Amino acid sequence: MTSNSSAKVHPSAVLEDGCSVGSDVKIGPFCHVGSDVVLKDGVELLAQVSVQGHTTVGKGTRIFPFASVGNEPQDLKFSGEKTTLDIGENCIIREGVTINPGTAGGGSQTRIGNNCAFLANSHVAHDCVVGNHVIFSNNVMLAGHCVVGDHVIFGGGSAAHQFCRIGHHAFIGGLAGVEGDVIPFGMAIGNRANLAGLNLIGMKRSGVARDSIHAVRNTYKALFSGETVVLEAAKELGAAATDPHVIDMVEFITASADRALCTPSSE
């Protein structure tokens, strides 16, 4: 173990040879830290936390009891190959959370951004990429290979299908089952989830200008009016767009993807 003298480690904790522990790290009772783990400065493992694999935990991140971080991915094709999990700075990982590393078939890496909050019993599967300032409410489930943008909020008990993309500032309603890609600023609700408008509150909180909000709303209406196929409408709107938020939304829609797009209900 490589440890800074300022680290505080409870006598009952197990730190395997080879792990790296930064300054001001706190490791509470009955925690288990694997040999290839790196805990950056100021990390806190409260109690009974398991951090394993080739996992790096960023500065100031706090992990609560019974969380399982970096243990083998829940993928039957995994055969022990070296894969990684990188968790950013100042994250909160609450009780019972599970976050898995990548797999060889999916890029070999799971990445979590900075300032994220994973509330109790939420799950991030293998090969996911999660942005900054993302909130997982209780019991949220993210299947493998998902990509989540910055400032996304998942309501309690919601779930995303594997390979889904969730655009930045999207809001996923409680208990929603997301099967398709959710556009930036989109609001998805229901099982199976449909778009239910835009996350206007999230846009305002993030300081998006009023003119940009109006431009995005007009783009949303044009995209999903039903008069033109969404992809064709996106290409037409993108050719004339000048607002950066509109351009971002259109590029999200026209990018190649593994899943269909989450759209408003036809009912």
Which positions are annotated as active-site residues?
126-127, 144
CB within 8 Å of 121: residues ≥ 6 apart: 95, 96, 97, 138, 139
Closest by Cα among 85, 50, 55, 54 to 68: 50
Beta pairing, strands 117-118 & 186-189: unpaired
**Cβ(81)–Cβ(60) below 8 Å:** no
Encoded tokens for 115 = 């300032």
Beta pairing, strands 141-142 & 123-124: parallel
CA angle 128, 112, 4 (to 5 degrees): 135
Give the whole-angstrom CA distance, residue 83 versus residue 236.
41
Cα-based distances in Å from 68 to 31, 55, 83: 10, 12, 16
Identity of the amino acid at 169? H
Give the whole-angstrom CA distance, residue 260 versus residue 213.
25
Give the whole-angstrom CA distance, residue 259 versus residue 144.
13
